[in-house]
Structure 1
Amino acid sequence: AIINQKGKGVTCIYVAIGQKQSTIANVVRKLEEHGAMEHTIVVAAGAADPAAMQYLAPYAGCTMGEYFRDRGEDALIVYDDLSKQAVAYRQISLLLRRPPGREAYPGDVFYLHSRLLERAARVNAEYVEKFTGGEVKGKTGSLTALPIIETQGGDVSAFV
């Protein structure tokens, strides 16, 4: 999806959550080979990084995407993958002694992802003009989110 945005004026954000460094390097190499790094921001919180960093990485990437959206530009964000963010959130919640639910995930784990995905939106020209203090007029902006989750053995009915 990111490679196909080349030359279309779309800023892309790739958020790698809990991936091995070699996997992240392979993705970046592929993007470079296809000339996609010119319009792509990579936010990486690898498997070796602390759980707090893996939890916060999608929010950091989304904030970057919102910046472009609110300035009347189009942006695409790919979260790879949100199931690893849920695991990081579970680790943090257990350390904070929050009451665990099913499979030791906190009760608000679904709110975590819905809150993040609802930030992807299209804004009208009036909003863009107000946000930019009149600097940008007559342009609408959008942020499109592509979440990726890992399934266990193809079981899409798993808890998270």
Structure 2
Amino acid sequence: MRLVRRTAIALTLVLITARALTAPAAAAAAGGPEKPVSTVLLKTERSWDGKLYKSYPAGRPQLTVLKIVIPAHTTLPWHMHPMPNVGYVLSGNLHVESRDGHHQTTLHAGDVLPEMVGSAHRGYTDNAPVKLIVFYAGAKGLPTATTVH
């Protein structure tokens, strides 16, 4: 009798485990809940002009995320960033150029740009506004950008 009971318990555990392992696949095949998907948009040690990032700023780390909207036919002032940052274009076309004239690029919706650190550059728009999100990895009290005259 004990052997029958142990066998029944073992068989039940096997069936429960098998059901648990196959349930997600069955749910997906039946139009069930989708699984989360993670896609790397950018992983780099260099800014868009090819220069290596040297380090993060000294001090207490401070992360800043900005949503920036640039109107159509707008040119931003020449500026520099004292920290690594990356922009993600939500909509529009953003043209970016270095002040020395050696580097230019154009970004479209869905593109990412690892920004230059310590080098003057600017962006400008064409016939449509640009919306972008910029993530800054800085230090407390440090500005995200400074205007260059």
- Smaller-chain TM-score bracket: under 0.3
**Of the two structures, which has the highest relative contact order with CA contacts closer than 8 Å and spacing of 6 or more?**
2
Q: Which has the higher strand share?
A: 2
What TM-score do the two structures reach when normalised by structure 1?
A: 0.22
Q: TM-score, normalised by structure 2?
A: 0.23
